[in-house]
Chains A and B, each alone.
Chain A
């Protein structure tokens, strides 16, 4: 192996109006190296890889590939130079087969038969079980990701960029992916691995570059650095771990009895026979890969979706046929996953968004007439108590950053003194310090006797705050188990193991 880096970035700078996304970033990747790019949301990771992949042109700085100048004008040029990229969001057509999808993305696609054979070869070589004839619409998220990876591998890249690849995978699927990546690395393919999951990076990567606010703030060898140290480099401050006092849960607040319901959307997942109890002061964590019934469960609890009587009992009372506002009146509050458009109306002010769910419980409405002065005060209270960074309550929801809007949305429900709070992905896309404060707020709420249901795809988060853990898989909820003595393997099995493994052996 030579000493020439495969990819050498020097002083890359890219500015957007009002923000410097990358400020003279330098980094080098050796052939066969698995290099982590670490940073919070908005640290500039995406901009950096977009420059390498030819999607964005740098304002200043230079890139070298194998010692030669490298300035891809478009992704095609980057691919020709040997750069492959697997995006976080897949670009696949549901109605087409795996082979057809892959053919669509290729410049000179071979005949489908030949391509299918190539796909099988790559899939065998790298231990990525996938049949080329299957329709993409039927695949799990993990399998879809394999389609994207195989699509890249067929181009025989020298550098493979992976953007947050494990966010949609079960622990078992992560293991399969890591084996593949290690094999690729052993063959000399360099991998640029973007993530904020520190344990993964420690297990997989040879080197790491840490970005904060567009600048390189540190480099480290992940295996020799603790996750906590890396996190603190990433955030720039010392992290507070959420704390709580031990306590015994009180009486049952929410009881689901064989909850079954069809999804309201055509491609949704029906809920199947879900039975569980949540008690006062208890946090029930619900994990699972996205699309396994999370949205439907939240809708059934919030009242957006009505259910057959007798399936949802709140403090012993049947509530399955009550709409969202009567449930709020009883003390059932919810915060959906999608901030813009579901939990909040993007173009409306924070005052109006405070009115959105606060009208009944906060006394912002009398006989149908709205009290905007009181709504404004409520919005200001949320902004002050949850440290929402915004010029004021008159600003539109969409002008807030994701983390700030999330603090507002969670704060809005927490401040209404819920008896039962259901949240879906409470810290999705939120930076580490905001996530910590949101989790603390949830734990404080449980401390004061609220029953909590936290639906999340972040297992670390669930392990941190849950008393009991259950997993959603294909619309079914596994029996809940105490969270403190669960291992990662057990959680993975509760989540349904490795989706689609059986295909490999057909």
Chain B
């Protein structure tokens, strides 16, 4: 009989090892999945994990790693603050869209003026857009006790409708021959978030992600507010007893995650994407949830997890085009990663015992 036994202390070794074990398990079972689809498992895995970094076209894919990784890390850092405190913002995708709309709208409002202050203003507007969109579920939660999971998620679909409406209406390019979508910000010098060093993929969003990682690290380990976040997640009553104001904490965590998601949206729309289109959002806000957990809600872990996730995105694309793997198979593969992580996570607090069962 196999049974689980609670460890007296959470295992530190396991806490560090589970992400790696999860990656290995995903490779094994992902390989089996690809085999069932009639592909060579080793080639598939190699295509996903090796090709983007060291393959023939790595010079093209490596910058992509930063471009795809930066929004994931930026959003996941914000989400992790709330997740640590037991505040579940699932609507980062919507906040990401609103950040892009506010930011792009700010930039386009100045078109065709060229001035140094336009991009900083866009950054502020993007942050504000994400923040205000997250404050809706936050306010409803603290005022009326609504469930932030549901409200923030539903607001994603509202944001998508806004995005469609903006692409077709207010922000539509007047010189775009009637096609949906805004002017391309890549062709608007003052609003363009290009590579800081040519050909590296290093744009302002990457810088912001790095700053967010450091900021979150210091906040969580050294600051009273970070401590309040951690205690609230561990034991809400103890947090209240220690003087944490739950209302303010909800507002801070939701606001912070919205703000960072909004920034991610702004940097994306003004850089790699270039314009507001109906299909602007590609799911960074949802994938960032996986990234946050894969990184154990730890800033440095999230940085690594974001890069790993970006890798599977890029590798998955290559596998789709080179090997003809269906897109759904790649998504299952990414889902497996979270699944195995959460499953293996149990061994941090429990250990397996083989022996006779008994009722204690």
Seen from chain A, the residues whose Cβ lies within 8 Å of a Cβ on chain B are 16-17, 50, 55-57, 302-304, 323-325, 328, 334, 336, 338, 340-348, 352, 355-357, 359, 365, 368-370, 395-396, 398-399
Q: List 15 A-B contacts (CB under 8 A).
A: A16-B360, A56-B359, A57-B358, A304-B240, A323-B245, A324-B240, A341-B235, A345-B234, A346-B235, A347-B234, A352-B231, A356-B238, A357-B242, A369-B222, A399-B8
- A324–B243 touching, CB < 8 Å: yes
Closest Cβ–Cβ distance, residue B145 to chain A (whole Å): 12
Closest to B227 in A: A370
Q: Is B37 an interface residue (CB 8 A)?
A: no
Interfacial chain A residues near B360, Cβ < 8 Å: 16, 56
Closest to B349 in A: A347
Closest Cβ–Cβ distance, residue B271 to chain A (whole Å): 34
Interfacial chain B residues near A16, Cβ < 8 Å: 360
Interfacial chain A residues near B358, Cβ < 8 Å: 56-57
- A347–B10 touching, CB < 8 Å: yes
Closest to A358 in B: B242
* New A-B contacts (15) at CB < 8 Å, excluding given A57-B358, A348-B231, A396-B10: A50-B359, A55-B359, A56-B360, A323-B243, A324-B240, A324-B241, A328-B243, A334-B241, A348-B235, A352-B227, A352-B231, A359-B224, A368-B223, A369-B222, A369-B224
Closest to B356 in A: A57
Cα A329 to Cα B224 with chains together (Å): 16
Name B241's contact: one of A57, A304, A346 (CB within 8 Å): A304
- A370–B235 touching, CB < 8 Å: no
Cα A332 to Cα B128 with chains together (Å): 41
Closest to A55 in B: B359
- A370–B223 touching, CB < 8 Å: yes
- A342–B235 touching, CB < 8 Å: yes
| B162-204 Cβ-contact flags toward A at 8 Å (1 or 0) | 0000000000000000000000000000000000000000000
Closest to B231 in A: A345
Cα A50 to Cα B359 with chains together (Å): 9
Interfacial chain B residues near A324, Cβ < 8 Å: 240-243
- A345–B238 touching, CB < 8 Å: yes
Q: Is B56 an interface residue (CB 8 A)?
A: no
Closest Cβ–Cβ distance, residue B11 to chain A (whole Å): 11
- A342–B237 touching, CB < 8 Å: yes
Closest to B5 in A: A17
Interfacial chain A residues near B222, Cβ < 8 Å: 369-370
Interfacial chain B residues near A336, Cβ < 8 Å: 241
Name B223's contact: one of A304, A334, A341, A369 (CB within 8 Å): A369
Within B331-360, which residues are at the interface with A (CB < 8 Å)? Answer: 358-360
Given contacts A323-B245, A324-B241, contact A370 B234 (CB under 8 A): no
Closest Cβ–Cβ distance, residue A409 to chain B (whole Å): 11
Interfacial chain B residues near A325, Cβ < 8 Å: 242-243
Cα A435 to Cα B360 with chains together (Å): 27
Closest Cβ–Cβ distance, residue B191 to chain A (whole Å): 36
Interfacial chain B residues near A341, Cβ < 8 Å: 235, 237-238
Cα A399 to Cα B9 with chains together (Å): 6
Interfacial chain A residues near B20, Cβ < 8 Å: none
Closest to B235 in A: A345
Within B61-96, which residues are at the interface with A (CB < 8 Å)? Answer: none
| B217-250 Cβ-contact flags toward A at 8 Å (1 or 0) | 0000011110100110011011111110100000
Interfacial chain B residues near A348, Cβ < 8 Å: 230-231, 234-235
Interfacial chain B residues near A398, Cβ < 8 Å: 8
Closest to A360 in B: B243
Interfacial chain B residues near A55, Cβ < 8 Å: 359
Closest Cβ–Cβ distance, residue B69 to chain A (whole Å): 30
Closest Cβ–Cβ distance, residue A197 to chain B (whole Å): 26
| B1-40 Cβ-contact flags toward A at 8 Å (1 or 0) | 0000100111000000000000000000000000000000
Interface Cβ pair total, 8 Å cutoff: 80
Cα A365 to Cα B225 with chains together (Å): 11
- B227–A355 touching, CB < 8 Å: yes
Interfacial chain A residues near B227, Cβ < 8 Å: 352, 355, 370
Interfacial chain B residues near A368, Cβ < 8 Å: 223-225
- A344–B238 touching, CB < 8 Å: yes
- A343–B243 touching, CB < 8 Å: no
Interfacial chain A residues near B237, Cβ < 8 Å: 338, 341-342
- B243–A342 touching, CB < 8 Å: no
Cα A271 to Cα B17 with chains together (Å): 51
- B234–A346 touching, CB < 8 Å: yes
Closest Cβ–Cβ distance, residue A168 to chain B (whole Å): 22
Closest Cβ–Cβ distance, residue B328 to chain A (whole Å): 38
Closest to A335 in B: B241
Interface centre among A302, A325, A342, A355, by most B CB within 10 Å?
A342
Closest to A371 in B: B222
Interfacial chain B residues near A395, Cβ < 8 Å: 9
Name A370's contact: one of B224, B240, B243, B245 (CB within 8 Å): B224
Cα A328 to Cα B360 with chains together (Å): 41
Cα A352 to Cα B10 with chains together (Å): 15
Cα A16 to Cα B241 with chains together (Å): 35
Cα A395 to Cα B10 with chains together (Å): 10
Closest Cβ–Cβ distance, residue B219 to chain A (whole Å): 10
Cα A338 to Cα B236 with chains together (Å): 13
Closest to A16 in B: B360
Interface centre among B224, B227, B241, by most A CB within 10 Å?
B241
Cα A368 to Cα B218 with chains together (Å): 12
3 closest A-B pairs by CB: A325-B243, A345-B235, A324-B243
- B241–A343 touching, CB < 8 Å: yes
Closest Cβ–Cβ distance, residue B6 to chain A (whole Å): 9
Interfacial chain B residues near A302, Cβ < 8 Å: 241
Cα A370 to Cα B227 with chains together (Å): 9
Cα A365 to Cα B239 with chains together (Å): 16
Interfacial chain B residues near A369, Cβ < 8 Å: 222-224
- B241–A357 touching, CB < 8 Å: yes
Interface centre among A345, A356, A370, by most B CB within 10 Å?
A345
Cα A435 to Cα B290 with chains together (Å): 48
Cα A368 to Cα B228 with chains together (Å): 11
Closest Cβ–Cβ distance, residue B46 to chain A (whole Å): 40
Closest Cβ–Cβ distance, residue B65 to chain A (whole Å): 35
- B234–A342 touching, CB < 8 Å: no
Closest Cβ–Cβ distance, residue B286 to chain A (whole Å): 28
- A365–B238 touching, CB < 8 Å: no
Interface centre among A16, A55, A348, A356, by most B CB within 10 Å?
A356
Cα A17 to Cα B360 with chains together (Å): 12
Interfacial chain B residues near A347, Cβ < 8 Å: 10, 234-235
Closest Cβ–Cβ distance, residue A266 to chain B (whole Å): 12
